[in-house]
Structure 1
Amino acid sequence: MATIKMNLQYFADEKTEKATPKKRNETRKKGQVPKSTDVNTSLMMLVVFLFLWMYGGQMIITMFANMQREIFTHYLVADVTSESAASLFQSISFQAVLAVLPLMVLAAFAGSFGSFIQVGAMFSTEPLKAKLNKLDPIKGFKRIFSARALVELAKSVLKISLVGTTVVIMIWTNLEEVMLLSQKSVTDAMSMIGWLTIMMGLAVAILLMVLSIPDYIYQRYDHEKQIRMSKKDIKDEHKNIEGDPRIKSKRKQKQMELAMQRMMQEIPNADVVITNPTHFAIVLKYDEQKAEAPFVVAKGMDFSAQRIKKRAQEHGIPMVENKLLARALFHQTDIGQQVPPDLFKAVAEVLAYVYRLKESQSNELRSRT
């Protein structure tokens, strides 16, 4: 028996169910989303090297022209001091930053766009919070030798091998130009090296973009596996959202009791009670100032019907037995609603009978007095 109980507990705690929308929102708020860093890296490299391919030469010429103008107009005629050397260094650094700034902006935009197409608009500071459990050596050891770590290692080895192969192929196909670099001028050699570097960067960027597709698919699969829930987790979440079933049942019972009390308070002012005679009881009232047609004050079935009839008897409210009309009113109307048009005639006949009965009773009282 104990073994069966343990097996049932194991299956109840096993993470076999897909995450609920609530669990997905919670993990997203914590910054836990499926994301491949290769998408960001490949987009950044592609944008940067495309920019260098189109505007790299002009950017370098502009940067060196500005540096030369600063040097020849200011620093060659200046005294060689520590202040002038520091000023020269600052000027060169500033020109280099201005030249590289467009690349940095493009790289940042490409990285942000890569994240956006994967996870959408999201901002979370949860990953930046310090967590002491990350310093746990046992958990760190488990992370290092986990299946996920082995997959990441295999991915890294594969990427390094493919990138290295791509670079070797690019150099091999242009080996003749590389071997002749020593015989070219500095300008031509630098131009050749720059062109070859850009071509290798573009090739590597395209390769990483291709590799990022299966990597993103794996990241989604691994994320879905990490956020799986057990049947017990889903049940507990449902309890937290909907409330404990026992408390919910008690609340519903209390609401029904309050509704019954309100109905009982309205019965003494009603005109008639239409009965089944045992299963249904519908209390009607006609007030020209409130509604154009008679409306339902209270209704009940079985035990509630018996309570309604008892209350009506205590206050002398007439009761009329009409099985078909009672059943139709019970199923077609709610408390506070007017009688449906197709039942007007039947209800009018009942009210006319009640009014004649009340009039005859009042005439008897007068004759006795």
Structure 2
Amino acid sequence: MSDTDDKDSKTEAPSEKKVRDALEKGNIPFSREAPLFASILGILIGLAFAVRSNTKTLTEKLSLFINRPQDFRLETGADAANLIQAVAIEVGQCLIPVIVILAACSLSASILQNVPSVVAERIRPQWNRVSPVGGWKRIFGRQGLVEFLKSLFKFGTMTLVSILLLRSEQYKVLNAMFSDPSLLPELMLTMAMRLVSAIAIATIVLVAADLLWARFKWHSDLKMTKQEVKEEYKQMEGDPMVKARMRSLAQDRSRKRMLAAVPKATFVIANPTHYAIALRYERSEASAPIVVAKGQDLIALKIREIAEKNGVPVIEDKPLARSMYNHVEVDRMIPPDFYKAVAQILFYILTRSK
């Protein structure tokens, strides 16, 4: 069966068990564009708050390279290393807040989509992950086409936004060549913020569509065929044929045990072929007669046959046998409602035996 035919046959919604199993194995709906969008927002937040506040200080310190180059010793390699280290520290103090904000936004985007969990199944080596055939299908399949279209959209959006922004700011860029160099960082920061803001706005639609697509594809991949639904039901509830067979075996064992107890009965009440109830009464065992066997039709005839073969009295009382059959249970005492009628039968049997 081809993959297309297999997907076409999956017409049933995924069961709760299949969804639960998928989540336990780490198969969760996940949008790759959401963390990317969060990263863009993180860059924008970092530029607006962290970088802007540090830009002036960083500019003043770096301007010393132009205004007072004689203050920096570069006579040996150690001097150069110290200078590079000092510059790196100053730049790092400016960029570290941005990196922290960027990481926090990316992690938040992933955590908000799904609760993080450790799944050994995801890191277990699997051949289909390194299989050339599987890789070819992923690249040129439906998912590969969707990823290509998303990448094409992102590339086209960023290119278009960059071109439009540079066109609108081209005169400022040209004028900056003849202005105070200390103003360049502020100009570059402003242009970067405008560029990142425009890209974030342009990709909102892509992120929303990708979130919906991830959920839809995940749900679609978990769909089941009618045969899978039947097999899962059998696993959860048990195979109906097996259950029926087990129930039949249990009934056979109970019937044999019940018939084996008939010879120990005190008497049998019958109607004369449809119903039969075997009762045992011993004062030392219970305060009322106990039902050791009951049955109708063929079982009733079998009870009568065993009773007559073992000398157990059989009393024919149609109304009493029919009434008792529906109200008594095997291995339990008879209800108080039948005490009087059964006592009369016991008195009759004891009198006749004397």
TM-score by length of 2: 0.73
Q: Is the 8 A contact 1:282 1:298 kept in 2?
A: yes
How far residue 211 of structure 1 moved from its aligned partner, in angstroms, is 1.9
d(CA) in 2 for partners of 1:359 and 1:17? 69
Corresponding residue number in structure 2 for 1:71: none
How far residue 335 of structure 1 moved from its aligned partner, in angstroms, is 4.5
Corresponding residue number in structure 2 for 1:33: 28
Matched, 1:353 2:344: yes
Any idea what SS the aligned residue of 1:17 has? coil
Match of 2:217 among 202, 207, 222: 222
How far residue 60 of structure 1 moved from its aligned partner, in angstroms, is 5.0
Residues 75-102 of structure 1, C-alpha deviation per residue, up to 9 Å, x if partnerless? x899966566556656665665565454
Any idea what SS the aligned residue of 2:177 has? helix
Corresponding residue number in structure 1 for 2:123: 128
Q: Is the 8 A contact 2:268 2:277 kept in 1?
A: yes
Any idea what SS the aligned residue of 1:251 has? helix
d(CA) in 2 for partners of 1:295 and 1:59? 95
Corresponding residue number in structure 2 for 1:50: 45
Q: Is the 8 A contact 1:13 1:231 kept in 2?
A: no
Alignment of 1:281-292 (within 5 A): 281-283=276-278
d(CA) in 2 for partners of 1:116 and 1:317? 78
Alignment of 1:68-83 (within 5 A): 82=77
d(CA) in 2 for partners of 1:211 and 1:12? 26
Q: Is the 8 A contact 2:262 2:278 kept in 1?
A: yes
Cα 1:11–1:161 change in 2 (3 A) is closer
Match of 1:207 among 192, 202, 211: 202
Structure 1 range deviating more: 247-256 or 170-179 = 170-179
Cα 1:41–1:13 change in 2 (3 A) is closer
Structure 1 range deviating more: 128-137 or 324-333 = 324-333
Corresponding residue number in structure 1 for 2:193: 198
Any idea what SS the aligned residue of 2:215 has? helix
Any idea what SS the aligned residue of 1:114 has? helix
Q: Is the 8 A contact 1:43 1:111 kept in 2?
A: yes
How far residue 131 of structure 1 moved from its aligned partner, in angstroms, is 3.1
Cα 1:22–1:182 change in 2 (3 A) is same
d(CA) in 1 for partners of 2:263 and 2:59? 101
d(CA) in 2 for partners of 1:325 and 1:97? 99
Any idea what SS the aligned residue of 1:130 has? coil
Q: Is the 8 A contact 2:46 2:97 kept in 1?
A: no
Total equivalences in the alignment: 344
d(CA) in 1 for partners of 2:89 and 2:272? 98
Structure 2: unaligned runs, 5 residues or longer: 64-70
Corresponding residue number in structure 2 for 1:16: 11
Match of 1:253 among 243, 248, 251: 248
d(CA) in 2 for partners of 1:133 and 1:247? 36
Q: Is the 8 A contact 2:150 2:206 kept in 1?
A: no
d(CA) in 2 for partners of 1:321 and 1:65? 117
The one-letter code matched in structure 1 to 2:145 is L
Match of 1:117 among 112, 118, 122: 112
Q: Is the 8 A contact 2:58 2:91 kept in 1?
A: yes
Structure 1 range deviating more: 322-331 or 250-259 = 322-331
d(CA) in 1 for partners of 2:90 and 2:263? 94
The one-letter code matched in structure 1 to 2:192 is T
d(CA) in 1 for partners of 2:7 and 2:277? 49
Alignment of 1:100-111 (within 5 A): 100-111=95-106
d(CA) in 2 for partners of 1:168 and 1:82? 43
Corresponding residue number in structure 2 for 1:151: 146
Q: Is the 8 A contact 1:40 1:115 kept in 2?
A: yes
Residues 129-167 of structure 1, C-alpha deviation per residue, up to 9 Å, x if partnerless? 333344443443333332332232222222322333344
Structure 1 range deviating more: 15-24 or 36-45 = 15-24
The one-letter code matched in structure 1 to 2:136 is F
d(CA) in 1 for partners of 2:285 and 2:101? 71
d(CA) in 1 for partners of 2:32 and 2:139? 19
d(CA) in 1 for partners of 2:352 and 2:72? 128
The one-letter code matched in structure 2 to 1:114 is A
Corresponding residue number in structure 2 for 1:344: 336
**Quick one: percent identity of the two aligned structures?**
26
Cα 1:208–1:13 change in 2 (3 A) is closer
Cα 1:86–1:357 change in 2 (3 A) is farther
Cα 1:263–1:154 change in 2 (3 A) is same
Structure 1 range deviating more: 291-300 or 30-39 = 291-300
Residues 341-360 of structure 1, C-alpha deviation per residue, up to 9 Å, x if partnerless? xx632x11232123312431
d(CA) in 2 for partners of 1:230 and 1:94? 61
Cα 1:82–1:325 change in 2 (3 A) is farther
d(CA) in 2 for partners of 1:49 and 1:295? 86
Q: Is the 8 A contact 2:50 2:97 kept in 1?
A: no
TM-score by length of 1: 0.71
Structure 1 range deviating more: 19-28 or 82-91 = 82-91
Residues 112-131 of structure 1, C-alpha deviation per residue, up to 9 Å, x if partnerless? 33334334444324343333
RMSD: 4.3
d(CA) in 1 for partners of 2:61 and 2:322? 96
Structure 1 range deviating more: 22-31 or 322-331 = 322-331
How far residue 239 of structure 1 moved from its aligned partner, in angstroms, is 4.3
Cα 1:183–1:273 change in 2 (3 A) is farther
Corresponding residue number in structure 2 for 1:164: 159
